[in-house]
Chain A
Amino acid sequence: MAELTKEQTGKGLQVFENLKDSKLLTHLNSCVHCGLCAESCIYYLASKDDRLTPARKVDIVSSVYRRYFTVAGQIFPSLVNARNLDETTANEMVDLLFGACTMCGRCTMHCSVGVDIGYIVRTGRAMLSNMGMVPATLQSTVIAAVETGNNMGIPTEEFVATIEWMEEELIDEVQNPEAKIPLDQRGKNVLYTLNPREPKFFPLSISAMAKIFFAAGESWTLSSRMYDITNYAFFSGNKNESLLIAKRLFEETEALQAKTVVLAECGHGSRAFRWEAPNYLDRKMPFEIKTSVEVIAGYIREGKIKLDPEKIKQSVTLHDPCNLVRHGGIIQEQRYILKNFIRNFIEMNPCGTDNYCCGGGGGQLAMSEYNDRRMKIAAIKADQIKATGAKIVVTPCHNCVDQLTQISQSFKLGLQIKTLAEIVAEALIID
């Protein structure tokens, strides 16, 4: 790593200068170093390396803040543990904030004084993003989304051909030529979104959700112009890019005059669009935004779909995606769905808001640089799943699906990993 330029340092520090409110200031100054967060962090639990405790991650960001924005830090930096934003500090920030955090937020929940540790990590990531120091593999995913409209760079004609192919499969499966996967239709009740990995590599979840919409008699459409629910700029910490990506989906929803945006099973994408985008866009959303988990639960509750309790005979456990559960508060809906038709449903321990991250969150799955660490922390999830004895793991997040698939392979667990829509579609009773 070459020495940092003055311009780079300046851009990094801008994150502190552009503060709109006192939230960041409060959280930067509140850590009492009690160390309780250590035991909540999968990186610490898997390595027992003190350097990886969440408090250390808060510390490095706040030490830079102290150096440039407090009098004591400017005059006697070493007395107040204030650090220069030089290449050593910046490289350590990259290693700790990008390479050793899935932004799962478990530490934030366990913090004895309520420090929003996840927010500090994101602030640190924003500094590094301003300085052009986002790990290359993560940044290339952001660039693909910004430049092509989806994070895998899928050309529109390829996307459309895949949707048409899935429509044929759907018609075959439900034995009804009326079954459709509508594209670019205006004035529908629902605009459904996708994670680009679905059309590119895993389209069964598209036909599964289409089958559920069909059974429920939903009025819905996909958009060929903007279907990508992911927002990797949320991981890189770059607000301008987060805004740009969120704005596209916002504008497409308005253009298609959809009443509700239904978010694909994607933890961070749901968080970025439903809970963060109003902040990026600085406005209240004029349409409704729901996760597909809530929508499917609603169909069951209203009797719009019926599920066959004899269909899934194997034992099933549920993995809670951090962004959906801990950050978004979508906790009971997925359980309501599974308990409706799964005879042998076993919870992990801990579960719900206290669940352990799969290890693939926060952009980890995209960052090859930290693969070794990612698979080490995965041991915690592997043990948790093993203890349930379940043969199927369901999770409403495509990112978690990929990490869990690798966990199953690496730890030789022989599991089936499914999205919620996939397991529901299997048990769906079509009249």
Chain B
Amino acid sequence: MATIEIEGSVFEVDGDGFLSDPSIWNEEVARLFALYDDIPEMNEKHWAIVKIIRRNFDEKGNAPMIRMICQETGIKLREIYELFPLGPARGACRVAGLPKPDGCV
């Protein structure tokens, strides 16, 4: 099992750096994982995106469609890619503590 250390906290992760146990996720984990991806501070928009992804995961066990993220937060599609430079999957879903989505991401 791989681990990453961010600001003194150690997390068990998969090979791609996604949290091994999504149930230990909390807002502090999100903040640290974002920091690891060069997002020094999570703003309101980052939190809105992460919380919707997290809610969908808790309810349905997977990441929501990008359409749902945009329509529920009111954030423009192009802005999401700016907020999370690694994209909704490797960026936002990782910060939200989800397992890595399948497919070409």
Contacts and interface: CB of A to CB of B under 8 A. Distances in A.
Contact of B67 (A161, A371, A406): A161
A151 B103 contact: yes
A153 B15 contact: no
A287 interface: no
A154 B65 contact: yes
B101 interface: yes
A152 B15 contact: no
Interface in B70-105: 71, 77-78, 85-90, 100-105
Contacts of B14: 368
A137 interface: yes
A351 to B, nearest CB: 23
B72 to A, nearest CB: 13
A144 B102 contact: yes
Given A162-B65, A405-B86, A368 B100 contact: yes
Contacts of A230: 103-104
A76 interface: no
Interface in B15-60: 15-18, 37-38
Contacts of A141: 102-103
Contact of B65 (A195, A199, A365): A199
Given A151-B103, A201-B88, A402-B90, A409 B15 contact: no
A366 B104 CA distance: 6
Contact of B66 (A137, A200, A365, A402): A200
B-side interface size class? 20 to 34
Give the interface SS of chain B, mostly helix, strand, loop or mixed.
Answer: loop
A135 to B, nearest CB: 10
A-side interface size class? 35 or more
Given A161-B67, A165-B67, A372-B15, A201 B105 contact: yes
A171 interface: no
Instruction: Name, among B15, B78, B86, B105, the residue most crowded by chain A CB atoms within 10 Å (CB to CB).
Output: B105
A409 B84 CA distance: 11
A169 to B, nearest CB: 8
Contacts of A137: 100, 102
A140 interface: yes
B78 A204 contact: yes
Nearest to B77: A204
Contacts of B65: 154, 158, 161-162, 199-200
Contact of A402 (B15, B37, B67, B105): B105
Given A162-B65, A201-B87, A202-B66, A409 B38 contact: yes
Contacts of A165: 67, 71
A311 interface: no
A18 to B, nearest CB: 29
B15 A370 contact: yes
Nearest to B104: A399
B102 A366 contact: yes
A421 to B, nearest CB: 16
A402 B38 contact: no
Interface string A232-273: 000000000000000000000000000000000010000000
Interface of A: 137, 140-141, 144, 151-154, 158, 161-162, 165, 169, 195-197, 199-204, 230, 266, 365-372, 398-399, 402, 405-406, 409
20 contacts: A140-B102, A151-B104, A152-B101, A153-B62, A154-B65, A158-B65, A197-B89, A197-B103, A199-B65, A201-B89, A202-B87, A203-B66, A230-B103, A368-B14, A368-B100, A371-B16, A398-B104, A399-B104, A402-B90, A405-B86
**Nearest 8 CB-CB pairings of A with B:** A368-B15, A371-B15, A141-B102, A368-B16, A399-B104, A368-B14, A201-B88, A151-B103
Given A161-B65, A365-B105, 17 more contacts: A140-B102, A141-B103, A152-B102, A152-B103, A158-B67, A196-B104, A199-B65, A201-B101, A202-B66, A202-B88, A203-B67, A204-B78, A266-B104, A368-B14, A371-B17, A399-B104, A409-B86
